[in-house]
Amino acid sequence: MGVRSLAKSHKKFKESYGKKYVDLFKELAQKGQAPKSLFIGCSDSRVVPNLITHTDPGEIFVTRNIGNFIPPYNPDIKSCATAAVIEYALMHLQVANIIVCGHTHCGACEALFHEIPNNSDEGNLKKWMSYGEAARDQAEALIGQANHKKLLRATERFNVIEQLNHLLTYPAVKHKVHAGELHIMGWFYHIESGNLDYFNPVEYKFVPLEHINDEKQ
């Protein structure tokens, strides 16, 4: 979709959603945001957080990046947008939930199996991809390389689990989880069907989200 098409789409937005949500927009502008959950997802254009969660503006705080990666906590790193979002969501918005959402047919997970040359124009991407390498290695150890489709699906799921582990390296996250003030979850979105699974750490497997116990929400 080109820029002109986006401009026309915005006009349609004002004519439909703008009227539907006019009171909500005014309230959010006057009172500010108070989302209950932080959604950490992939930048993939097919994964739209508010669409797949059926939520209104102001209900979820969202950050998206290549591969829904979460760099492990490192106070010495010069800058990291994802880390800043996590800290802001916890310390200023006081979110009660953090969701890490991976998905099928993930280009980032596919890219983990292809080397990016050191002399390319993708230096930042090459460094960023390192945060998914552990998931790739776990999938290869379990599946092997004979069936690439199964290997990729396994990598995508292991990636969600690995990023949850990275999330727990943040002092604020660890403190709030132990205090019972924060719940973290791993989700897995099926692009082809729209279904959502969540990671059950007790059974160590992904199960349909609709099976979740209400007490865990």
Report the chain (217 residues): mean pLDDT per 10 consecutive residues: 85 80 92 97 97 96 98 91 97 98 98 88 92 97 92 98 98 97 98 96 94 58
Query: Does 49 lie in the same domain as 6?
Result: no
Residue position matching structure tokens 């953090």? 98
Query: Does 195 lie in the same domain as 156?
Result: yes
Q: Contact 186/100 with Cβ under 8 angstroms?
A: yes
End-to-end CA distance of the chain: give it in Å, rounded: 36
Residue 171 one-letter amino acid: P
Residue 89's CATH number: 3.40.1050.10
Query: Does 54 lie in the same domain as 11?
Result: no
Pairing of strands 37-42, 97-103: parallel
Q: What pLDDT does residue 19 have? A: 78
The answer as to whether 110 is a domain residue is yes
Q: What pLDDT does residue 216 have? A: 46
Number of domains in the chain: 2
The answer as to whether 168 is a domain residue is yes
The answer as to whether 215 is a domain residue is no
The answer as to whether 61 is a domain residue is yes
Query: Does 99 lie in the same domain as 11?
Result: no
Closest CA to 140 of 125, 159, 126, 127: 159
Query: Does 50 lie in the same domain as 3?
Result: no
Query: Does 27 lie in the same domain as 44?
Result: no
pTM across the whole model:
0.93
Q: What pLDDT does residue 24 have? A: 93
Q: Which domain, by its residues, includes 28?
A: 1-32
